[in-house]
Amino acid sequence: MADKIILEIVTPERKVVSETVDIVVAPGEMGEFGVLPGHIAFLCKLRVGELRYRQGAASHQIAVMGGYAEVLNNQVTILATAAEAAVEIDVIRAKAARERAERRLAESKDKFDFVRAQAALQRALARLKIAER
C-alpha cells in the first residue's frame, strides 16, 4: 500500500494543483469526505466550499466552485468548475461579490433569482474563507 496520494485539481482553464500529498479533505455534495492512501475508488459531485490537503506539516486550502472528484489508485482528481488558492483570491472583489449577492437575495422576485443569488453568495463566502486564513 502506498503512503502518499497524488492530488490533481483541474479547471477548464488550467491545472491548479498537481502534488503528492498525505491527505485530501473535500466538500462532497453529500458532505465533507477525506481520502487517505489506500482509499476505495469512488466518484462524487462536489459542492462549493473548501478543499484541504496536507503535505507533511504544511496544510493548504483551495476554494472550489463545484465539480467532481474521482478517487482511484491513490490518486484524487478534482475536475472543478473553478478553483483558487488563497494567494490568488482578490479579497476586495470577493467582498464586493458577497455584497452584490446579499442585495440580490433581499431583492429577489422569484425562485430562480433567489437560487442564483444564493449560489453567488456561497461562492463569495468560500473565497473569503480561504483568503482570510
Convert the pLDDT of each residue in 19-67 to its tens digit. Answer: 999 999 999 999 999 999 999 999 999 999 999 999 999 999 999 999 9
Q: Are 113 and 103 in contact (CB under 8 A)?
A: no
Give the pLDDT confidence score for residue 61 in this predicted structure: 94
Of the candidates 46, 43, 131, 126, the residue with the CA atom closest to the CA atom of residue 86? 131
3 state SS of 68: strand
Three-state secondary-structure class, residue 34 = strand
How many CA atoms, within 13 angstroms, populate the side-chain half-sphere of residue 109? 0
- Least confident range from 52-56, 96-100, 113-117: namely 113-117
- Under 8 Å CB-to-CB from 116, ≥6 apart: which residues? 104
5-86, CATH topology level? ATP Synthase; domain 1 (2.60.15)
Domain boundaries for CATH 1.20.5.440 within the chain: 90-131
The segment(s) of the chain belonging to CATH 2.60.15.10 are: 5-86
pLDDT of res. 72? 96
> Cα–Cα distance between 26 and 4 in angstroms, integer?
17
**Residues 117-133, mean pLDDT to the nearest whole number:** 86
* The CATH number fitting domain 90-131, selected from 3.30.1340.30, 1.20.5.440, 3.30.420.40, 3.60.70.12: 1.20.5.440
Mark out the alpha helices in 1-133 (DSSP H runs): 91-107, 111-131
Q: Which residues pair with 64 in a beta bridge?
A: 49, 83
The pLDDT of residue 1 is: 54
Distance CA 59, CA 53 (A): 6
CA distance 15 to 45: 19
